Structure 1
Amino acid sequence: MNPAARIGREIRFLSGLARTLWRVRKIDSDSDDLICDDFENAVDRFEDHTALIFEGQRYTYRQLDALANRFAAWADGQGVKTGDTVALLLPNRAEYIPAWAGLAKVGAATALINNNLTGAALAHCLRISGAQHVITDKETLAAVETIRAGLAKPLTYWVIDGEDEGESRRKLDLHEPKLPPERPSRGRRAGLKARDVALYIYTSGTTGMPKAAKITHTRAQLYMRAFAGATNSNAEDKVYCALPLYHSTGGLCGVGAALLNGGTLVLRRKFSATHFWDDVADNDCTIFVYIGELCRYLVNQPPHPKERAHRLKLAFGNGLRPEVWTEFQERFGVKNILEFYGSTEGNVSMFNFDGQPGAIGRIPGYLRGSFAVRLVKFDVEAEAPVRGPDGLCLLTDVGEPGEAIGLIKDDARHNYSGYADKAASERKVLRDVFELGDAWFRTGDLMRQDAEGYFYFVDRIGDTFRWKGENVSTTEVAEVIARYPGVDEANVYGVKIDRIDGRAGMAAITPGAEFKLDGLRDFLMRELPNYARPLFIRMTPAIETTGTFKYRKVDLVRDGFDPAKIEQELYFDCPETHTYIRVTPEVYAKIQSGGFKL
């Protein structure tokens, strides 16, 4: 890199970093200012600006605030107290942000439930939320019927635009005169501090069921304010979001970039590659929030007449692979890409402000002392950091993969709130790392850092893998498959498909006498969300275990779904026939060449 280019890179990096740090500088865990105060401040500044466009309907900041106030009034009417939790089980829709903002105004926390969940996973998430009330809609209410295990205590489901159906199914009419659009007094949330919980966002780990990450007001403010600064958005920007609002990337980062700066959030219920460019161009969008998988879908689409007839100046998000990155920019003419790294529950975050393809962030050497992020040597087989003769962890060398960890301190940027489950929280803490008594958050991600300070993602530690932008717990999926009649054993893992981000689910099944393949697909469709259903099924007479009786997956992952390496029956969930078909060499070649829409 020549001197002029190097100087330009540093200017871009430092400008982005300065904007971001400036926006988060006043966040204080002991403050009385909560995330709903940030929302109200934006409303007061941009009252009549368009805040949200959803399915052809426009909402001003004032109108969104009125909706939020109605949710606050509803909570008051139901006796929801400060510190209580209400569950939100909704798809993307206009009421989503006002719902949690309104509940925050009366001191309640909101559990953001993945609306794709069904069965035992849905019951688990509702149960651990501690909520008595669930806000949902007619579309999502059907998922409640799949809960078979039951709940320890009865819940009341409040259905937006629904009808009363007994005590457990109640209509939530946001036009009801008894739900005033005026703001509740700030005294209604008196005593709450920014360190208190505002939201629960669920994340899948390796324990088999989703875990509820505690998102304090501090953490929510960090997400929203940071991206308002990092994206450099303004009141003229329109941010396109087709990501689910129950996740932090869309629901906090994307929302913050739009609403805290007076811009407009253009919200879609679900992502559609075929409608994307029409949406972006027709709504005059200038910023797009992504996960890498969405960008891959777009570059795999045939040419669209509007794919360069748009005003997108920035795409920001995470998980954009290097090979997709360059093609996405060059084909669609999106000048700037802002890739970032962060986890819902963790304290490690970084930005790639200067657009280095494939990098998830950067900490240059001259700023290393200002950022408490380190890579430690990691033993993949033992799944533990390597410790030296003195018992302390060892830093990686340049280019060497290691686990990313973040120093835990009691301030806004470095605090670790953990999960609702204290035991799960403690498992993410690494102690006595570089000195006795210190504590660091374990990201569970392997990364490498080059000599210029850029970080690159290598792999996820453990059994959890990502598919379609979601974390898939192999333990959870295996437990579901094991409930199917005739399954003696099930071993679930992720396999790579050429040119596709993440790993597709695959299950090695030992069938018993009662096993019938014909009914398995329908069973899994009922029991698992789309992203968690295995794409491949491998029949095996026995599943190899380790000396400690853990399922051995190394050889299975190496074989993948290649019929040349597998003697047993091998099936593919074909998206064209919606049935399992045998994986022949021809089918294998078609999958690897992108011949199926996955």
Structure 2
Amino acid sequence: MNPSAKHEVIGITDVVKRVPGVAKKLPHILDGLRQVYLRKATTPTGLAWAFEKAVQKNPSGTALLYEDQKFSYDALNQWANQISYYFLSIGAKKGDVVAVMLENRPELIATILGLAKIGVISALVNTSQTNKVLTHSINLVKPIALVAGQETQDAILNIREQLDLKADRFYWFADQDTQQDAGKAPTFFSNLAEKISAYAKFNPPTTKHVYANDGLFYIYTSGTTGLPKAVIFSNGRWTLAYGTYGHILNLNADDVMYSTLPLYHATGVVVCWCGVIAGQAAFAIRRKFSRSNFWNDVQKHNASAIGYVGELCRYLMDVEPSEKERQHRVTKMIGNGMRPNIWNDFKQRFGIEEVLELYASSEGNIGFSNLFNFDNTVGFSPLPYAIIKFDKETNAPIRDKNGFCQKVKTGETGLLLGKITSRSPFDGYTDSEKNKAVIFKDVFKKGDSYFNTGDLVRDIGFRHAQFVDRLGDTFRWKGENVSTTEVENIVADYAKISEAVVYGVEIPNTNGRAGMAAITLKAQQSLDEQDLIQMANQFKAELPAYAVPVFLRIQQQVETTATFKYSKNKLKEEAFDPEACNETLYVLLPGENQYCEITPEIFKDIQASKYRF
């Protein structure tokens, strides 16, 4: 199916042809759906419940692989139990929050699992955050404790005086195999590996009292307010993913899922891991993605499935072909953001048979999954949703004479809304005012409520959709959502800058949009070479790497609307083209530590993909 051809849609005949492939998974899928829907409000559920079930079924099977470390289901479970009992000993109780800031490694998995067993919510802090943004993220969720890795200790130490935590509640894991050697914690931290060593290894009774409405994670997402928002991810919602995505993936005890995705994001910690647990398979993780080592790791861990986001796929396509990229048993992959222009080429080059593309958001109540294995679609959704007509100029739905929204026709693009029901609830943000902003009421009739995803999708028939674009003040780059307001605040902090407008622009042959800032300088100020170095250093220090503006545009005056909102449409259209802008433009080229002016030659090279952004 050509994604640009709006008239090409999925019909019942197309679906019938795919039924034999789905039928093979049907017993597993039905088992998953049964576990999701045949439960009451007081039925034990969630991550810890599902993991303990997997331990019973496959105690000696491999649960986790990392570098040269290997943990059975039983061993990982016992480790998590010790963490559970330790936190119970300091008074932690269901509903409390612990901030967790470790990179992908076994200690992170064990901590999340141990806290889940006692109903304590893990606030999964983005390990790229520093300074003001990090302070905000931690204090926002009011944690009773913080667990950091040695790899993130400096970021924590830099802000420790600003954190609302007792001095004895800062815990630490050495950056090594702490099961073998606990290491020595810095003065300010308590060594958690030492603390837990004397505690029991059997399952705590608390797992049986964790229910669907109890919180599991806080996952941070960018938004229009400028700083990260903490989204509550309940155990019930995790179980919904487990019973759907997890069972559709159809792994078994012989399978290995390899994922380099950060485990502070839902795609890694929810989608990939729940598929592993559903099949009592092994979860092979890596600290960070490496394009040069990707297929080496796949071979090393004998992976049969991989987790992905679109940018990861493009990076793998950019690598020179090698024999190793076909010497593996990977036939399926799960994730989101696979671009239509590489979808078929990726499958053919790497021998992938099934791309389980999905659509979901950390805060949303609607999900799609590519159950029928069509190309170029986020898949099918059984949940109630609507795709409505939307005016991008007014940034509002198009309503009829009665004030109700209108659904698009098959083949057309509109705004995706998820209907809020008891089976598809909206768990929401920590801030109730933010919840009001994303809920549409009286959409098709008086009294109904829908969650506004902020995403434009195309209705391609038979309850399938195709992702088109994101609305509002976020854009996606390097597999991350970037808040324009957050970046605007950091950029405007630079001494010579008066105002900044941030937006995403497309670079040929990349996924998502790169950040660009149109800046106005303070009176009598100009930029010299030292500024171009200092700006790059300051932005890198204050922002995650993916949020640092790639392009700068020097403006005399910022255009605003009548309501004093920034006019970004024209800026996005002109992007970083020197001829279109007629203003000074700068770019932070890959590997450089200062911005340089965009000349016609540099612009031509960017357009020709001579730089790897």
TM-score normalized with structure 2 length: 0.91
2:239 paired with 1:221: yes
Worse-superposed segment, 75-84 or 235-244: 75-84
**2:565 alignment counterpart:** 550
**1:485 alignment counterpart:** 495
Name the Cα RMSD after superposition: 2.1
1:410 Cα deviation (Å)?
Answer: 1.3
2:428 paired with 1:418: yes
**1:499 alignment counterpart:** 509
**2:180 alignment counterpart:** none
Give yes or no for contact 1:403–1:446 (8 Å, CA) kept in 2. Answer: yes
Give yes or no for contact 2:83–2:196 (8 Å, CA) kept in 1. Answer: no
Residue aligned with 1:594, SS: coil
1:174 Cα deviation (Å)?
Answer: 4.9
Number of aligned residues: 587
1:160 to 173, 197, 207: 173
Structure 2 counterpart of 1:34, which letter?
T
Per-residue CA shift, 1:451-507, capped at 9, x if unaligned? Answer: 454311111111200001110000000001111111111110000011211000001
**1:396 alignment counterpart:** 408
Structure 2 counterpart of 1:180, which letter?
A
Residue aligned with 1:307, SS: helix
**2:73 alignment counterpart:** 61
Give yes or no for contact 2:537–2:593 (8 Å, CA) kept in 1. Answer: no
Structure 2 counterpart of 1:217, which letter?
N
**1:171 alignment counterpart:** 191
Which ranges in structure 1 are unaligned for 5 or more consecutive residues?
364-369
Give yes or no for contact 2:507–2:513 (8 Å, CA) kept in 1. Answer: yes
Residue aligned with 1:579, SS: coil
Aligned equivalents of 2:11, 2:387: Cα separation in 1: 29
**1:536 alignment counterpart:** 551
Aligned equivalents of 1:109, 1:453: Cα separation in 2: 34
Residue 561 to residue 3, structure 1, CA distance change in 2 (3 Å) = closer
Residue 463 to residue 21, structure 1, CA distance change in 2 (3 Å) = farther
**2:578 alignment counterpart:** 563
**1:78 alignment counterpart:** 90
Per-residue CA shift, 1:413-433, capped at 9, x if unaligned? Answer: x11111111111222211101
Residue aligned with 2:540, SS: helix
Per-residue CA shift, 1:5-61, capped at 9, x if unaligned? Answer: 663224445766775454033333603313211111111111111111101111110
1:164 Cα deviation (Å)?
Answer: 4.6
**1:428 alignment counterpart:** 438
Structure 2 counterpart of 1:105, which letter?
K
**1:366 alignment counterpart:** none
Structure 2 counterpart of 1:172, which letter?
L
Residue 152 to residue 133, structure 1, CA distance change in 2 (3 Å) = closer
Structure 2 counterpart of 1:158, which letter?
Y
1:173 Cα deviation (Å)?
Answer: 1.8
Structure 2 counterpart of 1:465, which letter?
F
Give yes or no for contact 2:251–2:278 (8 Å, CA) kept in 1. Answer: no
User: What does 1:441-480 align with in structure 2 at a 5 Å threshold?
Assistant: 441-451=451-461, 453-480=463-490
Percentage identity across aligned positions?
A: 36
User: What does 1:336-375 align with in structure 2 at a 5 Å threshold?
Assistant: 336-362=354-380, 371-375=383-387
**2:141 alignment counterpart:** 129
Per-residue CA shift, 1:118-174, capped at 9, x if unaligned? Answer: 1111111101111021101111111124439923455632111354544x5222125
Aligned equivalents of 1:40, 1:405: Cα separation in 2: 35
Moved over 6 A (4+): 1-5
Give yes or no for contact 1:342–1:349 (8 Å, CA) kept in 2. Answer: yes
**2:223 alignment counterpart:** 205
Aligned equivalents of 2:369, 2:26: Cα separation in 1: 8
Aligned equivalents of 2:517, 2:330: Cα separation in 1: 41
Aligned equivalents of 2:29, 2:15: Cα separation in 1: 21
**1:109 alignment counterpart:** 121
Aligned equivalents of 2:113, 2:463: Cα separation in 1: 38
Aligned equivalents of 1:502, 1:230: Cα separation in 2: 27
1:406 Cα deviation (Å)?
Answer: 1.4
**1:284 alignment counterpart:** 302
Residue aligned with 2:139, SS: helix
Give yes or no for contact 2:50–2:278 (8 Å, CA) kept in 1. Answer: yes
**1:34 alignment counterpart:** 45
TM-score normalized with structure 1 length: 0.94
Aligned equivalents of 2:486, 2:11: Cα separation in 1: 51
Residue 562 to residue 190, structure 1, CA distance change in 2 (3 Å) = same
Aligned equivalents of 1:18, 1:543: Cα separation in 2: 59
Give yes or no for contact 1:29–1:218 (8 Å, CA) kept in 2. Answer: no
